[in-house]
Structure 1
């Protein structure tokens, strides 16, 4: 299999890396979100690369997603790309014509979307949904709370998972709804995240939506949710890979220039061994991301196994790269002014988005057993 990127993908990566390096500094990042910057990314075609031509984009393949998010990870970009990807893929997979039209608003930067699925007692399980949606005379009434909604306070609309039947942890009985930010009963409380960007707590207090808000079929939202979240898992893995590369580059430069006893510390054999081990681990992470990107369009179990394998690898290796990079920098590695500290925090926190390494290891094992019994 040829893992070389196409010319179009290389051009996209070059343009995005150059734009981020020249226009996206830490002052911009600290704002948490910029509507102007979001539109500028859209003008570059970055959001459109996340969707295929049938949905108004010009990419949509696993490798397109990986290329975009790897570049975003290199610049620690905090704009709501993950929400656009996950919500957009859910709408293109199961939405009606009006809902699919919302994807065009995401692609051109006119709208911001957020996935509202996580709950306080979710424990990363996609089936564990306590928010309720009850049938009314002319639609649905949603009641519940969602936690850690990425860029939730800036979203124009949410994709909300709610239980319409069944037990709280059953696959059957989950439905997906489009909920406008300004709908009556929607309460959003935003807060800054420790690794940059912002998130929000979302409360739904008897929020009324009409039948057109239902995405796909009633009680059958799990498959759509799993597929869309899977694209998000790949995106996070690629983002972390980009951040690892930058942490590696900064550490190598430090080892070449920092001197002790009149020589660069990079000549010390102990540090050379640690750096070599870290480089090998990063390449292992890269292989896992490539495998996940290649199988994003595969059958469910094969796809989900590759995604969980990548997320497990990224969680383990990301923490290792963060720790080793800081330790090899010495005390300066902990300072807020050094970009490395921000990369280290982001690498650690990526592990806790959409399932940590323990969750995905257990999931990989369960999926493997399921595949063997087929």
Structure 2
């Protein structure tokens, strides 16, 4: 089996890597963080690179690329700690392409492709504890369509988005709705996140909404799987750069007159970090390649990937801080920001224990050494 990337995918990686190196420096990132954690200017630059259009079908102005292309892009964005939520463009295009009617596709997919509209998933609720089938939000059918009453938490750049994909209970089942940011009865409370990005609480009080699909749980599961596959790829990029920064520091820092990279015990730690990175990379590939599988198989595969990524991100981040010493948590040093990002990513889209529960619940009777 050939696991090499195609020439087009390698060119895509190189293009994104060049932009990260030249257009998204650590200094620029810090400036954006001080200004609130999101830059529409950077979002437009991602759109100019064609990244917001990557998975939008060609008939709606997109590039029609697949999951592996997304993985390639997200690894490079992770390496640069890019805060703008490009993953949300992939989530929105997947949900609208597979579940929206033609009118909804025509209205939104071309604008998502150009970056003109930022559509984000607003699914988390405090009491849900990562479970997708727990939803307190409700929807009501009206003469003109639907209205939604819901409160959603930790919505990516929620106070900057142009529209939201919102799950709500309709006739006893979870349905998925599109709610525009300017809708009457909609409000947001924005705040900075621990990794210096941006999120918001979304409050809908009889907000007008457009029905995407009445089969909301199926669509929501797809959305979360797409988001977690992208997050796993991003995590690989973050860990790769974290390891690079750690190795560079160890080759410069001296103790007892020699660089600390010469100490065998510390070299073993770096080797373990590298092992965790490669385990994570292989599981990220696995999860990405399973995005086209049947729903149950896909969801379990993504959960497996997230378990491995969660363990690896925690290990690599913490070991990096230990090997750096005090500077590893200094705000002026880039390494501390990689550590914060890894820590938050482990809890995003379901933490390690949540996904371990999914893997365990979906184990077959034949699993184990005694099968």
Q: Under TM normalisation by the shorter chain, which class is it?
A: over 0.9
DSSP 3-state at the match of 1:49: coil
Instruction: Determine if contact 1:301/1:371 at 8 Å carries over to the other structure.
Output: no
Q: Whole-Å Cα distance in 1 between the matches of residues 55 and 325 of structure 2?
A: 39
- Counterpart for residue 30 of structure 2: 27
Instruction: Determine if contact 1:305/1:368 at 8 Å carries over to the other structure.
Output: no
| Aligned 1:114-129 pairs, distance under 5 A | 114-129=120-135
- Counterpart for residue 189 of structure 2: 189
| Aligned 1:170-209 pairs, distance under 5 A | 173-209=173-209
Q: Whole-Å Cα distance in 2 between the matches of residues 79 and 114 of structure 1?
A: 12
Q: Whole-Å Cα distance in 2 between the matches of residues 18 and 28 of structure 1?
A: 20
Per-residue CA deviation, residues 245-271 of structure 1 (Å, 9 max, x unaligned), is 000000111111111112111110100
| Aligned 1:289-308 pairs, distance under 5 A | 289-308=284-303
**Does 2:211 correspond to 1:214?**
yes
- Counterpart for residue 169 of structure 1: none
Compute the RMSD of aligned alpha carbons.
Answer: 1.5
Deviation, 1:103, is 1.7
Per-residue CA deviation, residues 82-136 of structure 1 (Å, 9 max, x unaligned), is 2212122100111112221312211111111111111111111111011000122
- Counterpart for residue 67 of structure 2: 62
What is the aligned counterpart of 1:237 among 223, 232, 255?
232
- Counterpart for residue 316 of structure 2: 321
Deviation, 1:54, is 4.9
DSSP 3-state at the match of 1:196: coil
Runs of 4+ in 1 over 3 A off after TM superposition: 50-56, 369-372
**Does 2:151 correspond to 1:145?**
yes
Q: Whole-Å Cα distance in 2 between the matches of residues 2 and 55 of structure 1?
A: 31
What is the aligned counterpart of 2:353 among 348, 351, 358?
358
Per-residue CA deviation, residues 173-207 of structure 1 (Å, 9 max, x unaligned), is 11111111000000111111110211000111111
TM-score normalised by length of structure 2: 0.94
DSSP 3-state at the match of 1:206: strand
DSSP 3-state at the match of 2:159: helix
How many pairs are equivalent?
361
Per-residue CA deviation, residues 183-238 of structure 1 (Å, 9 max, x unaligned), is 000011111111021100011111133xxx1112x2x1111111121110000111
- Counterpart for residue 2 of structure 2: 2
**Does 2:41 correspond to 1:40?**
no
**Does 2:118 correspond to 1:108?**
no
- Counterpart for residue 162 of structure 1: 168
Gaps of 5+ in 1: 167-172
Q: Whole-Å Cα distance in 1 between the matches of residues 147 and 131 of structure 2?
A: 24
Gaps of 5+ in 2: none
Could you say if the C-alpha distance between residues 371 and 152 of structure 1 is closer, same or farther in structure 2, counting changes exceeding 3 Å? farther
Deviation, 1:367, is 2.0
Instruction: Determine if contact 1:80/1:112 at 8 Å carries over to the other structure.
Output: no
DSSP 3-state at the match of 1:176: strand
Q: Whole-Å Cα distance in 1 between the matches of residues 89 and 12 of structure 2?
A: 18
Q: Whole-Å Cα distance in 1 between the matches of residues 295 and 102 of structure 2?
A: 25
Deviation, 1:138, is 2.7
